[in-house]
Structure 1
Amino acid sequence: MADKKKKKPQKLKARSPRGFVDRSAADIRATDEMIGKIREVYERYGFDPVETPAFEYTDCLGKFLPDTDRPNAGVFSVQDDDEQWMSLRYDLTAPLARHVAENINEITLPYRTYRNGWVFRNEKPGPGRFRQFMQFDADTVGAPGVQADAEMCMMMADTMEALGIKRGDYVIRVNNRKVLDAIMASVQVAEDDGGEQRLAVLRALDKFDKFGLEGVVQLLGTKGRMDESGDHTKGAGLNDAQIMRIVNATGWNEVSSGSNSGVSDGLTLANLEKALSLDGASIEGVKELEAIRGIVRAAGYEQDRIWFDPSVVRGLEYYTGPVYEAELLFDVTNEKGEKVQFGSVGGGGRYDGLVKRFTGQDVPATGFSIGVSRLMTALKNLGKLGQDEVLAPVLVTVMDKDTESLGAYQKMVQDLRGAGIRAEMYQGNPKDFSKQMRYADKRGCPIVIIQGNEERENSKVQLKDMIEGKRQAAAIESNEEYRAARPGQFEIDAADLVDEVKKLLAVQASA
């Protein structure tokens, strides 16, 4: 009986997990450039950096996600060898609360800090919606007054402008969770269900940017909303009268995703205060907004920069007072080809109860979080980021691979690097010189350095200007003529290598 043919081992399919993406060199450099500008503003305001780990014990994170219709309550979790559950952080605020509580005796309050890092959410991925993304936060812990909230709003306005986003292209929109609570109390949202209906209402209102008024009304109602894929989201269970009162009180019937109509936001707050008073609801939240408005206006931040808007929600459950969002107002084309406003690139608010979960003591706190990837996309749309290309390295070619020659080539590279010039020695197979030149061309190397035995004996080096060489080569018709002409290539003294490379790079830059 003939032996059966052995099956070839199946190749492992290279694939990234759903909702996760690789990042290119250009994206990484653009992110670093943007983060540097944000950090400069935060430092100017007197904030200091801190870093917390990506993993936290799950009970320390709490259940505060805006969406809880996914396994593991929206987080990625693993069990440690001591059977304690740990989760990847879903934001940078809950870990900060743990850090403050754990070090409360060493930290000087108010504690003013910033940090950036990756966060993870076990949510359904979609266009522009990833399970791993970067945030950049600033927080003030231990400051009970609304002046801390006012400062956050002013700092975010300054950050937008430091990134090159001009006035009129952004606005910081401000509301108060106490205002929303008062509105919900006035329409008799359930209070005896552990806060479930209240939270469902907040999450529904927070979806305006995604689903528009019609979608929000569906989420507020009893039937809920079905998305394009057929997934159903349960409604908050309000009746039509309750929905209309909430829509009217928060201004969703008039708002257009972050823009304002030119009406004074002071008048908006006055009308809101009057309406809540007539309903017998609390006006504490409106009074806090009026105080913040007075502070920012006195500091020169008018409503074209900071706008008080009762339609702002913020979906996270832990907010207890003022909430704010940074919105970009310019138009972009979405995946459906429609012109839409870019929308939110960050937000935050006051979370006075988060540290108290650990300490049992009131520790007021307020903070702001920027969505780094989303903001980077916006800046690219505006042509404000990644415009300066990073120069590819100068390439030192390898003509001989004996130890002495390799040492000489490496010395050239180190001399160039020591002078602040990006440089590398060719690391592939040096037998085929044309392959080294193709590598330099694909890499975009501006200069190639060549030294064979003859050049080394005469203390000479060949420099090839790849940019000028391409220009000259365009006029050459035959390979023989090309080899004879050596376009863009010339000889220098080896001792002058660094100076000559600097000169050539300067000429290329000016051209």
Structure 2
Amino acid sequence: MSKKNKPFRPKARRPRGFEDKPAELLRAERRLIEAAFSVYDLHGFEPLQTPAFEYADALGKFLPDEDRPNVGVFALQDDDEQWLSLRYDLTAPLARFVAENYDALAKPYRRYQAGSVYRNEKPGPGRFREFVQCDADSVGAAGPAADAEMIMLAADVMRAAGLKDGQYAIRVNNRKLLDGILESSGVPNTDEGAVQRLQVLRAIDKLDRLGAEGVEALLGEGREDESGDYTKGAGLNAAGIKAVLGFTTASDTDRGQTIAALETLVGTSERGMDGVKELSMIDSILTSTGFGPDRVSFDTSIVRGLGYYTGPVFEAELLADIRDKKGRPVRIGSIGGGGRYDDLVSRFRGQAVPATGFSFGVSRFLTALERMDALEQSVKPPVIICAFDRSLMGQYFKMAEELRADGIRAEVFVGSGNVTKQMKYADRRNAQVAVLMGEDELAKGEVTLKDLYLGAEMAKAIASNEEWKESRPAQETVSRDHFVAAVKAMLT
């Protein structure tokens, strides 16, 4: 056949930024999501599933430019020439759903959801274009009580995932506090002051990396880094810089002490005092329900996401001592978070609709749990029933059903090949037990069981094939009537 007539065979390749998920990862994801769902159910939340696609103009701040409909999101035009986009997160679809069904929903509307989200961004290590989020939200719930419940939900999800108290912390801040301090420092809480407030947020977010001195420069005129690059500062005056730096260090292990310090810092700002009152109410609820500072603390250095949120904000952080292969400490940091966002649904309805929520990335959380050795044991491989004699397939499937009825995973080999090939298959499946039965065993009412794990260990000490055949390691013949109990005993 000439090259010209050679049939086209596409190259098997996975798109960049997307991943194939093997069985173990899928099972771990399912266990984590089910653990979170069990917490949400106990709190009276209801499940919801929204479609992967939304109209592009419903995505809010992720709405593509008219001339660039694929920026940040994956978009296409339908037959009506309307732009559809794969959802960027689970919150924008929730806002659309609530707005569309507002009059029919009991409010607050309390929902939870897990699903894939898609981002048309450059992929990199640990950064995917598709990943799974797990959310819980309360829409139509004004006031700090709903925020306190979200914080408690987050702490309970940490426990449900298998973490012990002391291995995690929920850190809480409030957007209104910083707004109040900036307001007192001459930065107006208006659209005109938005750019300056964003510069302040970005400066505070670099506190861990640059230290107080570097952040102080970024809050003022600006800073030149080691490479010579210059970053323009937020332009605060000396009093404003002092107030903001004081805010970032106002936290105390005692939540009450933190509140007292914040009362002094926000001064006469009405918005700042609202933030203090909200934290005070949250503290009261947490204290009444036994959520002590070992589980939930107030931390004024938490700023990630403050530009998006309108009130209380929180992050779930892992605290366990995790080290890499060289023994160096690994900081995982935040694996989820949430807070109050009161502006999303109002985009659709033109009226204020308060909302608060919690979200975590499933893959990031699983990676953290794996490094902490906190993942539950995976599902055991199936017992492999070898097809020793094809005329006995009915008997083999009957044995498999008996094992399954007792809660034991079981599989009849339905491929092609002799027993040697079937045993290699069992090895590749990492099966512990293989079951063999031919005409002779059936006539005697017997079944042969092989413990492949024990056999592999014993084989290391056997020098020759003759010795192997004579010893018949990790193999036993049992009664057909009692083979289920024998398999269970071998597995345990």
The TM-score normalised by the length of structure 2 is 0.85
Task: Please give the alpha-carbon distance, in whole angstroms, between the structure 2 residues aligned to 1:248 and 1:158.
Answer: 32
Tell me the SS of whatever aligns to 2:265: helix
The corresponding residue for 2:431 is 445
The corresponding residue for 2:241 is 244
Tell me the SS of whatever aligns to 2:102: coil
Cα shift readout 1:264-316 (whole Å, capped 9, x = no counterpart): 34333333332322678742222222222222223332323222222222327
Alignment of 1:176-195 (within 5 A): 176-189=174-187, 191-192=190-191, 195=194
Q: Which runs of 5+ in 2 are unaligned?
A: none
Could you tell me which amino acid in structure 2 is paired with residue 502 of structure 1? A
The corresponding residue for 1:127 is 125
The corresponding residue for 2:408 is 421
- CA distance change for structure 1 residues 197 and 175 in 2, over 3 Å: closer, same or farther? same
Count of aligned positions: 486
Offset, 1:248: 0.8
Tell me the SS of whatever aligns to 1:86: strand
Could you tell me which amino acid in structure 2 is paired with residue 36 of structure 1? E
- CA distance change for structure 1 residues 435 and 281 in 2, over 3 Å: closer, same or farther? closer
Could you tell me which amino acid in structure 2 is paired with residue 419 of structure 1? D
The corresponding residue for 2:382 is 393
Offset, 1:47: 1.6
- CA distance change for structure 1 residues 225 and 341 in 2, over 3 Å: closer, same or farther? farther
Contact 1:54/1:88 (CA < 8 Å) preserved in 2?
yes
Which of 91, 94, 98 in structure 1 is aligned with 2:92? 94
Q: Percent identity?
A: 51
Which of 454, 469, 477 in structure 1 is aligned with 2:455? 469
Cα shift readout 1:83-141 (whole Å, capped 9, x = no counterpart): 22222222221211111111112211112221112222233333333332222211111
Task: Please give the alpha-carbon distance, in whole angstroms, between the structure 2 residues aligned to 1:157 and 1:26.
Answer: 26
Task: Please give the alpha-carbon distance, in whole angstroms, between the structure 1 residues aligned to 2:220 and 2:126.
Answer: 28
Offset, 1:13: 4.5
Cα shift readout 1:200-248 (whole Å, capped 9, x = no counterpart): 54455456568876886787688799999x9x9x967523647834741
Tell me the SS of whatever aligns to 2:279: helix
Offset, 1:474: 4.2
Task: Please give the alpha-carbon distance, in whole angstroms, between the structure 2 residues aligned to 1:117 and 1:225.
Answer: 42
Cα shift readout 1:450-507 (whole Å, capped 9, x = no counterpart): 223433455543322323434554454322343354333333444x1xx313333224
Contact 1:464/1:489 (CA < 8 Å) preserved in 2?
yes
Stretch moving more, 373-382 or 279-288 = 279-288
Contact 1:134/1:371 (CA < 8 Å) preserved in 2?
yes
The corresponding residue for 2:160 is 162
The corresponding residue for 1:329 is 319
The corresponding residue for 1:293 is 283
Offset, 1:181: 2.3
Is 1:502–2:485 an aligned residue pair? yes
- CA distance change for structure 1 residues 55 and 312 in 2, over 3 Å: closer, same or farther? same
Contact 1:174/1:306 (CA < 8 Å) preserved in 2?
yes
Stretch moving more, 148-157 or 211-220 = 211-220
Offset, 1:340: 4.6
Task: Please give the alpha-carbon distance, in whole angstroms, between the structure 1 residues aligned to 2:225 and 2:374.
Answer: 38
Stretch moving more, 157-166 or 94-103 = 157-166
Contact 2:433/2:450 (CA < 8 Å) preserved in 1?
yes
Task: Please give the alpha-carbon distance, in whole angstroms, between the structure 2 residues aligned to 1:23 and 1:96.
Answer: 27
Task: Please give the alpha-carbon distance, in whole angstroms, between the structure 2 residues aligned to 1:410 and 1:188.
Answer: 78
Stretch moving more, 329-338 or 293-302 = 329-338
Task: Please give the alpha-carbon distance, in whole angstroms, between the structure 1 residues aligned to 2:273 and 2:456.
Answer: 72
Contact 1:218/1:235 (CA < 8 Å) preserved in 2?
no
Contact 2:162/2:374 (CA < 8 Å) preserved in 1?
yes
- CA distance change for structure 1 residues 273 and 124 in 2, over 3 Å: closer, same or farther? farther
Task: Please give the alpha-carbon distance, in whole angstroms, between the structure 2 residues aligned to 1:149 and 1:84.
Answer: 37
Offset, 1:33: 2.3
- CA distance change for structure 1 residues 76 and 201 in 2, over 3 Å: closer, same or farther? farther
Cα shift readout 1:434-464 (whole Å, capped 9, x = no counterpart): 1211221232222212223433455543322
Tell me the SS of whatever aligns to 2:121: coil
- CA distance change for structure 1 residues 465 and 272 in 2, over 3 Å: closer, same or farther? closer
Cα shift readout 1:149-179 (whole Å, capped 9, x = no counterpart): 1111122222223334333332211111122
Which of 129, 137, 140 in structure 2 is aligned with 1:139? 137
Tell me the SS of whatever aligns to 2:267: helix
Contact 2:182/2:244 (CA < 8 Å) preserved in 1?
no
Could you tell me which amino acid in structure 2 is paired with residue 392 of structure 1? P
Contact 2:252/2:298 (CA < 8 Å) preserved in 1?
no
Which of 369, 372, 379 in structure 2 is aligned with 1:379? 369
Stretch moving more, 347-356 or 481-490 = 481-490
Tell me the SS of whatever aligns to 2:103: coil
- CA distance change for structure 1 residues 340 and 211 in 2, over 3 Å: closer, same or farther? farther
Could you tell me which amino acid in structure 1 is paired with residue 488 of structure 2? L
Could you tell me which amino acid in structure 2 is paired with residue 505 of structure 1? K
- CA distance change for structure 1 residues 489 and 244 in 2, over 3 Å: closer, same or farther? same
Tell me the SS of whatever aligns to 2:319: strand
Which of 345, 348, 352 in structure 2 is aligned with 1:362? 352
Offset, 1:31: 2.2
Alignment of 1:10-25 (within 5 A): 12-25=10-23
Task: Please give the alpha-carbon distance, in whole angstroms, between the structure 2 residues aligned to 1:192 and 1:109.
Answer: 31
Offset, 1:48: 1.9
Cα shift readout 1:339-390 (whole Å, capped 9, x = no counterpart): 353211111111112111112222211111122222222222332213x242
Is 1:346–2:336 an aligned residue pair? yes
Task: Please give the alpha-carbon distance, in whole angstroms, between the structure 2 residues aligned to 1:88 and 1:326.
Answer: 27
- CA distance change for structure 1 residues 218 and 375 in 2, over 3 Å: closer, same or farther? farther
Contact 1:314/1:347 (CA < 8 Å) preserved in 2?
no
Cα shift readout 1:55-85 (whole Å, capped 9, x = no counterpart): 22121111159xxxx9945322222222222
